[in-house]
Structure 1
Amino acid sequence: MTVQAYYRNEHGEDPVLLQNPSDVDALIDDLLVIDPSRNLAALHSMERPLMPAGVPDHELLVGIDGEAQVGVLAFMDDGNWVSFDPSTGRGEVPYFIMGNITEFPSHSEVPIPLVRQAVKEFLSSGGQRPECTQWQEPEFW
């Protein structure tokens, strides 16, 4: 199984490849210490088909807030889903992919170990929405 990860400008032409759990840990560790304006990664499984336009039929967004020690997940294919933890709630929270902001709804931040588990499940399942976390349908997106 292989997943392409994009979170730095140079990844547009040369994405990071995730092929095993240690690659996932390296990605999360990098997002933990990276500049906060680049703390969100877009992931695409190479196991899923491309749409007729040549773009992936899905996407998993993975964000890490190293200061708050939490993260977010968003999964898109036939619908949009955002991670959910009813015990958290800083309000809408911003994460950044290559300097561009994405705001996540309240209660979308989850513990970092759960983010790691979800990305590993995404990798091992061939790009399916991880089942290890609760999901919510965002009101906007």
Structure 2
Amino acid sequence: MTSPVQAYYRHDHGDKPVLLQSPGDVDALIDALLVSGPSENLASLHSLERPLMPAGFPDHELLVGAKGDLQLGVLAFTDEDVLVSFDPSAGRPEASYSIMGSATEFPSCSEIPIPLVRQAVKEFLLSGGRQPTCIEWQEPEFW
């Protein structure tokens, strides 16, 4: 059995995050992001299997964004390092995604096809919050 992952992506999730407990829940999250407006197309995920830091905050974060019009998305994984998804064939310029109206800029070549976004988030869920290995990563120059 997997440990749930908390997902925050709407204003009302501040006190009540959505719990992802199965691959189907991951698909539902990404489907919701795909049809969301530009102010709510990014989610912050935390696995409940990973430890909390002494201050009570998660020791990691997976950001997942999805744009329905492009059928592309982004990922950023943070623990000791910060890594962003990478697709050298995409070559698209920087991309902006927003969580609860707050924009985050992602570097060029960070957008990847939605099927890979789905696969990576499912891997995060099933691995107990580990960095997904099914995609390529890059270290962003800024963040």
**TM bin (shorter chain):** over 0.9
* Superposed displacement of residue 35, structure 1: 1.5
Give the 5 Å matches for 1:5-20. 5-20=7-22
Match of 1:46 among 45, 48, 56: 48
Per-residue CA deviation, residues 54-106 of structure 1 (Å, 9 max, x unaligned), is: 00000000000111110000000000000000011221110000000100000
Match of 2:140 among 127, 138, 141: 138
TM-score by length of 1: 0.99
After superposition, the CA RMSD in angstroms is 0.5
* Superposed displacement of residue 8, structure 1: 0.4
Which residue is equivalent to 2:74?
72
Q: Work out whether 1:22 is the aligned partner of 2:24.
A: yes
Paired residue secondary structure (1:113)? helix
Gaps of 5+ in 1: none
Alignment coverage as a number of residue pairs:
141
How far apart, in 2, do the equivalents of 1:23 and 1:9 lie? 19
How far apart, in 2, do the equivalents of 1:102 and 1:7 lie? 13
How far apart, in 1, do the equivalents of 2:8 and 2:91 lie? 27
How far apart, in 1, do the equivalents of 2:91 and 2:54 lie? 39
Give the 5 Å matches for 1:109-128. 109-128=111-130
* Amino acid in the other structure paired with 1:18: L
Per-residue CA deviation, residues 84-137 of structure 1 (Å, 9 max, x unaligned), is: 000112211100000001000000000000000000000000000000000000
TM-score by length of 2: 0.97
Paired residue secondary structure (1:120)? helix
Per-residue CA deviation, residues 15-67 of structure 1 (Å, 9 max, x unaligned), is: 00000000000000000101121000000000000001100000000000111
Which residue is equivalent to 2:97?
95
Q: Work out whether 1:57 is the aligned partner of 2:72.
A: no
* Amino acid in the other structure paired with 1:104: F
Gaps of 5+ in 2: none
Paired residue secondary structure (2:39)? helix
